[in-house]
Amino acid sequence: MMGKEILIEAAALGKSFPGAAGDELQVLEGIDLQLRAGEIVALLGRSGSGKSTLLRTLAGLIAPSSGSVRYRGTELRGANPGTAMVFQSFALMPWLTVQDNVELGLAARQVAPRERTERALAAIDLIGLDGFESAYPKELSGGMRQRVGFARALVLEPDVLLMDEPFSALDVLTAENLRGELISLWSGERFPTKAVCVVTHNIEEAVQLADRVVVLGANPGHLVAEVEIGLERPRDKKSPRFAALVERLYDHLTGREPGVDVPEPAEATPTARPLPPVSVGGLAGLTEIVGASGGRAELPDIAGELNFEIDDLFPLVDAATMLDLLTVDGGELALTTTGKEFTGADIQRSKEIFAAQVRDRAPLVRTIVRALASSQNGKLRADFFLDLLRRGFPSTEARQQLDTAIDWGRYGELYDYDTDSGQLTVP
């Protein structure tokens, strides 16, 4: 793949946005990425990793704060002329027919009406919607609307097709069908684009579609790993090689990153180990599910049974591992000794166990407990902690951190919170 033509290149790319309190929210940092002719690249990452921001920066819809994006060697100063986008939300104009929606980009490029019509009809035929040219979006199913989104992008014959979680708004069977059709088109001779870059948080989707998977870490978004897939198409999800690649990507997303020193929860500061934004009930529910499976369960199996994406479960997994209720090995979750006791205990005993764990292993909760113990009357205003948190987090995330700490501490009866006065107090 190294010999293939470089179409888009990001170098030392960084992006920040102004925060609500006048601060800067760093979304991307130090991204080096190349998209080459003849490959499908998946951008895989958890929430907060800046996947969609990166994609829009490659499209020239967002200007980088640092570094550069080049298309065929020329630095972008606006929209990327070599790309077209497919969005998660379909983004169709409801007052336009299928054909008119597909012609939109061509009209913006001032393509002559006759050529516009011919190209639009060919694109509609390519994605299997011939016969629906005069239909309106409201008459179409979700899968058919996304096909229109594909046709609208492909009719522009871009060098690079950019797709932002294009299957996540669809039901499981429709999404699987469209993924298969995309691969069939890519493998055929009529596909009018040289490369594809797709944003996803679905690991199996990344392995099924991509030639190369770029894994992003979060807060801010940064490059964790690049994994070459190296499987012939069509790909068998039940094959050992497919499973091994899925497991490897799980390791990157759920494990510690190589070379990154993450402090242990019992020693970390509130900014070094933020609290995952989950409720105590959600956390207990996850441990109960693992307990019902004999104390061990596969994360993808749990996600599949609950009809959730893996990404939705990551905060719960992070919280359970922070509190030493679960361990994670690749995609397998296992209850710890403390986790087993917590899951099997009655309500009062489970609250005692939870209180002990968060007091020792949830850094912000531990900080609040210690501050209250050293205060004159066992009372402190919550805004005191909010101001401290804003030094390390954007305002919205600082508020979320404090709300989570209040929720956890109150459940464990470590402190109480009065909404009217905004005070935290020792019970």
User: One digit per residue, pLDDT tens: the chain, 427 residues?
Assistant: 455 899 999 999 999 887 655 667 788 999 999 999 999 999 998 777 889 999 999 999 999 999 999 999 999 999 999 999 888 877 888 899 999 999 988 888 888 989 999 999 998 888 888 888 889 989 988 888 888 988 898 888 899 999 998 887 777 788 888 888 889 888 887 888 999 999 988 888 899 999 999 999 887 889 999 999 999 988 888 888 988 898 888 878 765 555 556 668 888 888 878 898 899 999 999 999 999 999 999 887 888 788 777 767 888 998 999 999 999 876 789 999 999 999 999 999 999 999 999 999 999 999 999 999 998 888 999 999 998 888 777 777 789 899 999 999 999 999 999 999 999 999 8
Token pair 């894994």: residue: 215
* DSSP per residue, 328-376: EETTEEEE-HHHHHHHHS-HHHHHHHHHHHHHHH-HHHHHHHHHHHHSS
> What is the DSSP-derived secondary structure letter of residue 129?
-
* Residue whose pair of structure tokens reads 């939109």 in the numeric block: 104
Query: Cα(140)–Cα(98) distance, rounded to whole angstroms?
Result: 9
Rg (CA), the chain: 24
6-18: strand order across its sheet: 24-36, 6-18, 66-71, 74-75
Segment (H or E) for 67 = strand 66-71
Q: Rounded distance, CA 368 to CA 200, Å?
A: 37
Taken in order of first residue, the domains within the chain and their CATH numbers are 6-254 (3.40.50.300), 280-425 (1.10.10)
pTM across the whole model: 0.75
